[in-house]
Structure 1
Amino acid sequence: MLEHAVWWHVYPLGALGAPIRGEHGAPEPRLRRLEAWLDYAVELGCNGLLLNPVFASVAHGYETLDHYRIDPRLGDTEDFDALVAAAASRGLHVVLDGVFNHVAREHPLVAARPDMIRWQGDQPKGWEGHSDLVELNHDHPEVRAMVADIMAHWLRRGVAGWRLDVAYAVPADFWRDVLGRVRAEFPSAIFLGEVIHGDYAVIARDSTFDSVTQYELWKAIWSSLVDRNGWELAHAIERHAAFSAEFIPNTFTGNHDVSRMASLVEPHQLPITPYLLTTLPGAPSVYYGDEQGFTGLKTDRLGGDDDVRPPLPASPADLSALGAGMLHHYQAAIALRRRNPWLATADVEVTRRANEAISYRVTGSGNTLDVHIDLVGGGVTIEGSGEHLVV
């Protein structure tokens, strides 16, 4: 399934207008509202729905209180089951975000089972200095059993796999053990590790991830456009080719943790991004709103993620007409990918590099695509395998 995956990536708490800080108010079945967007995701060309946290949490979803309970701000289990069923009826596979490196300081384990969390002196150890995010003790056999049980619980409810939050901070042997247990019951489940730095291929192999997040490529795409530096993008594509020979990376041009591409590059350069995303090997994900040209900058302050996690309107019919141009490019790029599924596992070779332009050739299954990109002017030409596309 990973070879054919194109995900629409949604941060539900933000996209559905849930209150993030302060009093949450009465429970509300906001997940039901996402059903109005499923046909839109299909028309975009996606066959998967990659969701950020949906479990009961304190605020932004990554300080989990209960992995077995849907966050009341989003609804309950019935609302979740309805969304999964509605997605399945449209051929959309749901992947959940599993936060298994840490839990909320208020999580019952912190007080009731101190042996299952990590300590720093007489205080629970906070992840990367965040005292509200308490690290789990991944060496503890009951932590391993708990995480395996949580994964299996939701896989039994129809999800297709898991995005593993800050997977790079958890020992590889933990993942190897836990994922082995889960795969014994769900051999086709997908496990996507969030990895930012390091040797992606080694991490994927040692942890037995099916995929990892390709942050190197994401960074090279936007900074090469900003700096007019095709050399940086060429280097990243060559690194990407080596990773892709080992596993299928998760490629992206935006997600819930980074500034929107439309706020980083010039408007005339923006149409380049979906064609890069879909002509390079990997399993692409499209962060909700990027296909509409949403803007938003991530900043280092309280609420600094809010701009990149905005609410969606009630339905696609309520979107601004200003996004139609970018939507057309995303649909065209994903359609090209759908016509050429071999691209997911293709080989890629940079054939020309310069400050202001780059060309690369993608080959696989007896097919070839030549891609030429003008980083300054914003032009894209794609030729080969029956394709002729000029942007």
Structure 2
Amino acid sequence: MWAYNETFYQIYPIGFCDAPVHNDGVTVPRIRKIAGWSEYLQKLGIGSIILNPIFDSDNHGYDTRDFKKIDCRLGTNEDFKYVCDTLHSHDVKIMLDGVFNHVGRGFWAFQDVQEKKWDSPYKDWFRINFDGNSGYNDGFWYEGWEGHYELVKLNLQNPAVVDYLLECVRFWIEEFGIDGLRLDVAYSLDHNFMKRLRRYCEELKPGFALIGEVLFGDYNIIVNDEMLHSCTNYECYKGIFSSFNSMNLFEIAHSLNRQYGPEQWCIYRGKHLMNFVDNHDVTRIASILTNKEHLPLAYGILFGMPGIPCIYYGSEWGEEGVKAPDNDYALRPAFEDPKPNELTAFITQLIAVRRESDALCNGGYHNVVITNHQLIFERKSDKEKVLVAINASDSEFTANNDELQGDYTDMITQKEGTLSGQLDMPPYSVQFLSIS
């Protein structure tokens, strides 16, 4: 699976392209702005972008009206085809947000039910009770997603709904040449639907990647050979920033060992979960870390740990953004142009180092040294052994452990040396040591 060796870059297009928050019905080719970032993304080393919703919707994109039409606020299908062609020409793949659990009240099939009630051929596409009523006075009750009635839940156990959604995926692949899907609220999706989606996509485009949004629970339930290739690793997302803010690296070391460690009971060995330090739903890492010196270190863990790293647009240069109690607008801004700085250059190095390292992409995980302020862990495959060393302290530290042995090259700085049971760790440092 190509996705396991690549770094992803997530964009929320409605915000990124400075589109109106509510659909104003005016067609403006704003989505072409993404094509203008292609060269920047290629230089950064991005293997694929993840685009949050781009299809015709009522407001924020997750309330879809039409799965086959680009939202007019972003442009036309032809505009998006141009974006895809441009990204592909810069070696950047495209993953779309597959919002299959629910649609907006403006969705064409739901509007047919609103008009015809019992007589609509689409009444069984949703979970409807004609003996009740909705808060919108539709004359029938329907299930909304987690109490949000502007999001009408689809009935994924209805074969007609499944056939329609798969036909839309086929359209996206054939029309735009997309390479994968992020499945919105994958934890809510019918398992048989995900199995069918996996088989269908693999037949249509071998190597098509499926990555699910999952917040909690056992990821093995949906990340397996029958369903998804990967899912979001929220457990370690929390562990990364929390470990730095509490100056307790035992937390992230425990989470990583629980997921990927060598013991038999470790739960995700051999899997490639999608890792992130922020996204379109959470406060940006630069705003949540109490010590800004820890910002490069958070990315050091992100690129050193098992799984697939994903960067949220703008965070690679340390952009701030705080989630509000009632909206996410501050998390989804528009930037005229990229604003690369020292952090961006460091992340570019990390992307390049990881892409060429079998141990970092596919190796096992083993904790070597853990203190409150320092963490050294080993990534090892059949071909390679790498030590990832993080010092979150403002003081130099010398780690001592019998496992710290051998000649090394720091994959970031190209510095060479020999370990004889100890490692000097400068203050606020990240080291990726290739051991020979």
| Range class of TM-score, shorter chain | over 0.9
Where 1:156 maps in the other structure, the secondary structure is helix
Alignment of 1:255 with 2:255, yes or no, is no
One-letter amino acid matched to 1:73: R
1:1-391 matches, cutoff 5 A: 1-21=2-22, 24=24, 26-112=26-112, 113-119=122-128, 121=132, 122-157=140-175, 158-205=177-224, 208-241=227-260, 242=266, 244-265=268-289, 266-301=291-326, 304-313=327-336, 315-316=337-338, 319=339, 324-377=341-394, 384=408, 387=411, 389=413, 391=430
Greater displacement, 249-258 / 61-70: 249-258
| Cα offset, 1:229, TM superposition | 1.6
Contact 1:17 1:311 in 2 (8 A): yes
Q: Which runs of 5+ in 2 are unaligned?
A: 113-121, 133-139, 261-265, 414-428, 431-436
Q: Relative contact order (C-alpha < 8 Å, sep 6+): which is higher?
A: 1
Percent identity, please. Answer: 32
| Cα offset, 1:384, TM superposition | 4.3
Q: Distance in 1 between matches of 2:81 and 2:63?
A: 23
Q: Which has the larger radius of gyration?
A: 2
Q: Distance in 2 between matches of 1:25 and 1:115?
A: 29
Contact 1:271 1:378 in 2 (8 A): no
TM-score (norm 1): 0.92
Q: Distance in 2 between matches of 1:35 and 1:178?
A: 29
Contact 2:358 2:384 in 1 (8 A): no
1:257-306 Cα deviation digits (max 9, x unpaired): 111000011211111122111111212111100101000011221xx211
Q: Distance in 2 between matches of 1:214 and 1:10?
A: 18
Contact 1:272 1:379 in 2 (8 A): no
Where 2:37 maps in the other structure, the secondary structure is helix
Where 1:198 maps in the other structure, the secondary structure is coil
Q: Distance in 2 between matches of 1:341 and 1:290?
A: 26
Q: Which runs of 5+ in 1 are unaligned?
A: none
Contact 1:5 1:46 in 2 (8 A): yes
Runs of 4 or more, structure 1, over 6 Å off, are: 378-383
1:112-148 Cα deviation digits (max 9, x unpaired): 3121011365411110100100100011001111111
TM-score (norm 2): 0.83
Contact 1:270 1:378 in 2 (8 A): no
**C-alpha RMSD of matched pairs (Å):** 2.1
One-letter amino acid matched to 1:267: K
Q: 1:156 to 1:73 in 2, by over 3 A?
A: same
One-letter amino acid matched to 2:212: G
Contact 1:370 1:384 in 2 (8 A): no
One-letter amino acid matched to 1:309: R
Greater displacement, 225-234 / 285-294: 225-234
1:25-65 Cα deviation digits (max 9, x unpaired): 52100111111111111111112111111100111111000
| Cα offset, 1:367, TM superposition | 1.1
1:181-224 Cα deviation digits (max 9, x unpaired): 23222222111111110111222128610111111111100111
| Cα offset, 1:153, TM superposition | 1.1
Q: How many residue pairs are counted as aligned between the two chains?
A: 382
Contact 1:244 1:345 in 2 (8 A): no
Contact 1:269 1:377 in 2 (8 A): no
Q: Distance in 2 between matches of 1:367 and 1:376?
A: 29
